[in-house]
């Protein structure tokens, strides 16, 4: 049985009487099928000394270049520079396996580079092979030469929370430096509730389980702990015990709802815990809420940022969830906080989920849910459709005539967005994908933050692959800022029969065929990366005798 994909639930109609059948077009899946055809088998760049290496697929050979140019600033060469020769006509993607001249301690910050026109150009990430003597990576096309380089500048910290009973996203495994399994919550007696999961595979990956208390009843337990010095001592002791007994690399504290009156006690708790963990050779990270703007200054609530930053290894800064205010609030807060503490101690929290805002507040939304809303399709009339009749089919959540905005790029939120009339009035959806993620990561780069914290690193989280720009930032310290092609954000309509007129504003006129039967009209939308569509089944009835429908008329396929 085929394993369900992230959008497969859209294939199910709401009820047996629902005339709307839904389907999904996964552009990435289609592209993947094409790439399978084009990708060459793994090519090993194996060469002894300056001689030619063994022939690869299609007669491809390699040899060590006598004198390699100096690596770019902030990088070191882990391999020789190999010249690649290929017969004419050999092209397409390839997986290159390169022998290393020095063995790194772990597989982080590796990349394939080529030297052309007097400068180094990054080809893509490289993954260390299990024996540590070679590394491999995919290239879009065979370069004239290739080498494995490692970034030696200040390493970017990439942490990620892993929810209970979820598997780590394979894409995350090669980028994360620290994993934070959501394993624990505080008890009112100071003891921890929960148990640590088995350590996942991955050389060099630190594991700091998270103790989380975001609201009742966990926040009530934090209040009970901080209000009693004895219970605080029990809490510190139990955390240190669990870390040591399970040979953990440390602990992550996420108490974002501390009573404002307990600020000094929270600082004392974190400072005491950090000292004991550091004395034992372990680490501690904490998460703090975004400070509130208050006149010309900021209200940090019970959290003493300078004192806490001096005690812990890193502070994760929770983000503004209202995407219409995100950059304004985040830029202001970061400008303030980086004057208070060392910016390398701050990690920016990002995530794979989009957001929907309405009168009932702001909720996280997956890519599938967002594009499912955008591709909703409906018939304007409830009357029976006659042969050759013209009827209007709507995309009510993107139709400009219905008060919707259509899918567009939001220059303020730096994300694909759309607004539509829904429950409680106007609602706005912001989609998180590789485009929007890159702009958030660039803010972390501009403020020279120590890294990022990904709010959910489980497989399929958010249903959007945001690991491309995260990996680019981790590998190179830079990120490519791109916007989606505007033409891809326009709605696209298809019909199984009949003809279509219009559609640019989110509605289309379908001219029914002359033959009675059941036909389909499809609305397809995209965030610039993935295409998703919903299909509406339309029944063209047999005209009555008064309408000229006498005689035996058999529907198509009948």
Taking only the tens place, the pLDDT of each residue in 18-36 is 333 333 333 333 333 223 2
Q: What is the pLDDT of residue 10?
A: 32
Closest CA to 186 of 211, 210, 216, 223: 211
pLDDT score, position 538: 96
Q: Sheet harboring 531-540: ordered strands across? A: 20-23, 531-540, 517-526, 492-495
Cβ 158 vs Cβ 174: under 8 Å: no
- The confidence score (pLDDT) of residue 543 equals 77
Q: Report the distance separating Cα 394 and Cα 402, nearest Å.
A: 9
Q: Is 235 left (phi over 0), alpha (psi -120 to 50) or beta?
A: alpha
Q: Which CATH number fits domain 157-366+431-476: 3.20.20.100, 3.40.50.1970, 3.20.20.80, 3.20.20.150?
A: 3.20.20.80
d(CA 445, CA 371): 30
pLDDT for 160: 97
pLDDT given for residue 470 in this prediction: 95
Cβ contact 94:108 at 8 Å: no
**Per-residue pLDDT at 44:** 61
Q: What are phi and psi of 202, to 5 degrees?
A: 125, 105
Domain ranges for the chain, please list them: 8-34+376-396+490-547, 39-151, 157-366+431-476
Could you give the C-alpha distances from 411 to 327, 511, 527, in angstroms and in order? 11, 38, 15
Instruction: Write the CB contacts of 285 (distance below 8 Å, at least 6 apart in sequence).
Output: 159, 178, 180, 208, 250, 252, 253, 312, 313, 314, 315, 316, 347
Residues 6+ apart with CB under 8 A from 68: 77, 80, 81, 115, 147
If we measure between CA atoms, which residue out of 556, 468, 491 comes closest to residue 28? 468
User: Cα(187)–Cα(193) distance, rounded to whole angstroms?
Assistant: 6
Token pair, residue 536, equals: 């509406």
What pLDDT score does 521 carry? 97
**Intrachain domains 8-34+376-396+490-547 and 39-151 with the same fold:** yes
pLDDT for 4: 37
* Regions of the chain short of the pLDDT cut 50: 1-40, 47-55, 550-558
Q: Is the dihedral of CA 350, 352, 358, 361 positive or negative?
A: negative
Q: Check if the beta carbon of residue 476 is closer than 8 Å to that of residue 441.
A: no
Based on its alpha-carbon atoms, the radius of gyration of the chain, rounded to whole angstroms, reads 28
Distance (Å, whole) CA 545 – CA 535 = 31
Strand partners, 519: 538
8-34+376-396+490-547 folds as Immunoglobulin-like (2.60.40)
Q: Which fold has domain 39-151?
A: Immunoglobulin-like (2.60.40)
In this prediction, residue 56 carries a pLDDT of 52
> Cβ distance 184 to 209 under 8 Å?
yes
- How high is the pLDDT of residue 216? 93
Residue 38 is predicted with a pLDDT of 36
pLDDT (0 to 100) of residue 63: 87
Q: Please report the pLDDT score of residue 14 as a whole number.
A: 37
């Amino acid at each position: 049985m085929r394993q369900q994909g992230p959008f497969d639930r859209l294939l199910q109609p709401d009820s047996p009487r629902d005339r709307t059948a839904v389907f999904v077009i996964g552009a990435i899946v289609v592209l993947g099928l094409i790439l399978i055809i084009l990708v060459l088998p793994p090519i090993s760049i194996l060469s002894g000394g300056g001689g030619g290496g063994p022939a690869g697929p299609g007669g491809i050979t390699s040899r060590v270049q006598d004198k390699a140019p100096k690596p770019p600033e902030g990088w070191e060469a882990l391999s020789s520079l190999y010249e690649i020769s290929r017969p004419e006509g050999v092209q397409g993607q390839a997986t290159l396996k390169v022998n290393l001249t020095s063995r790194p301690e772990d597989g982080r910050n590796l990349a394939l580079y080529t030297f052309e026109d007097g400068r180094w150009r990054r080809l893509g990430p490289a993954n260390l092979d299990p024996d540590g003597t070679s590394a491999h990576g995919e290239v879009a096309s065979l370069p004239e030469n290739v080498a494995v380089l490692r970034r030696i500048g200040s390493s970017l910290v990439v942490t990620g929370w892993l929810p209970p009973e979820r598997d780590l996203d394979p894409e995350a495994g090669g980028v994360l430096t620290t994993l934070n399994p959501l394993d624990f919550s505080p008890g009112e007696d100071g003891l921890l509730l929960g148990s640590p999961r088995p350590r996942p595979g991955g050389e060099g990956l630190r594991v700091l389980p998270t103790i989380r208390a975001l609201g009742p009843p966990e926040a009530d337990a934090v209040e009970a702990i901080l209000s009693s010095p004895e219970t605080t001592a029990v809490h510190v002791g139990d955390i240190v015990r669990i870390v040591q007994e399970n040979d953990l690399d440390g602990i992550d504290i996420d108490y974002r709802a501390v009573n404002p009156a307990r600020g000094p006690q929270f600082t004392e708790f974190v400072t005491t815990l950090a000292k004991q963990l550091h004395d034992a050779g372990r680490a501690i990270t904490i998460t703090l809420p975004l400070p509130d703007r208050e006149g010309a200054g900021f209200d940090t609530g019970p959290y003493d940022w300078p004192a806490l930053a001096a005690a812990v290894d890193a502070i994760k800064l929770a983000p503004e969830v209202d995407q219409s205010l995100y950059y304004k609030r985040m830029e202001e807060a970061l400008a303030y906080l980086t004057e208070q503490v060392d910016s390398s101690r701050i990690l920016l929290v990002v995530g794979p989920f989009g957001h929907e805002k309405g009168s009932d507040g702001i909720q996280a939304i997956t890519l599938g849910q967002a594009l499912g809303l955008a591709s909703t399709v409906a018939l304007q009339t409830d009357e029976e459709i006659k042969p050759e009749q013209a009827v209007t089919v709507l995309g009510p959540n993107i139709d400009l005539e219905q008060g919707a905005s259509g899918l567009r790029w939001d220059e303020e939120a730096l994300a694909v967005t759309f607004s539509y009339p829904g429950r409680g009035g106007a609602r706005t959806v912001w989609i998180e994908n590789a485009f929007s993620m890159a702009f958030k990561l660039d803010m972390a780069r501009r403020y020279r933050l120590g890294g990022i914290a990904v709010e959910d690193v489980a497989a399929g989280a958010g249903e959007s692959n945001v690991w491309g720009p995260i990996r680019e930032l981790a590998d190179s310290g830079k990120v490519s800022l791109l916007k989606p092609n505007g033409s891809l954000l326009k709605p696209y309509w298809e019909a199984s029969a009949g003809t279509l007129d219009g559609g640019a504003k989110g509605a289309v006129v379908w001219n029914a065929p002359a033959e009675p039967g059941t036909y389909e009209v499809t609305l397809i939308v995209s965030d610039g990366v993935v295409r998703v569509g919903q299909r509406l089944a339309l029944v063209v009835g047999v005209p009555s005798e008064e309408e000229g429908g006498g005689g035996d008329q058999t529907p198509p396929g009948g």
